[in-house]
């Protein structure tokens, strides 16, 4: 999995990306799950504002 992250952010330094963890509520069960991803610093607000299906 680390290879995918490195390939996706080629040329970026550690200061340019952030690991973001978002809590998402399941519409079926009502239970919460966590979605983790590496996001460029400029797109953190967009990632958190996006609705999950």
The answer to whether residue 3 scores a pLDDT higher than 60 is no
Q: Does pTM surpass 0.75?
A: no
Q: What is the pLDDT of residue 51?
A: 77
Per residue in 5-44, pLDDT tens? 555 666 667 788 899 999 999 889 999 999 999 989 999 8
**pLDDT number for residue 10:** 66
Q: Which of 52, 18, 9, 23 is nearest to 37 (CA)?
A: 18
Domain ranges of the chain: 2-49
pLDDT at residue number 15: 81
DSSP letters for the chain:
-HHHHHHHTTT--GGGEEEEEEEEE-TTT--EEEEEEEEEGGGHHHHHHSPP-
């Amino acid at each position: 999995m680390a290879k995918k992250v490195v390939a996706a952010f080629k040329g970026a330094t550690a200061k340019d990306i952030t690991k973001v963890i978002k809590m998402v509520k399941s519409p079926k069960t009502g239970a919460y799950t966590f979605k983790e991803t590496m996001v460029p610093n400029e797109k953190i607000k967009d990632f958190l504002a996006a609705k999950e299906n």
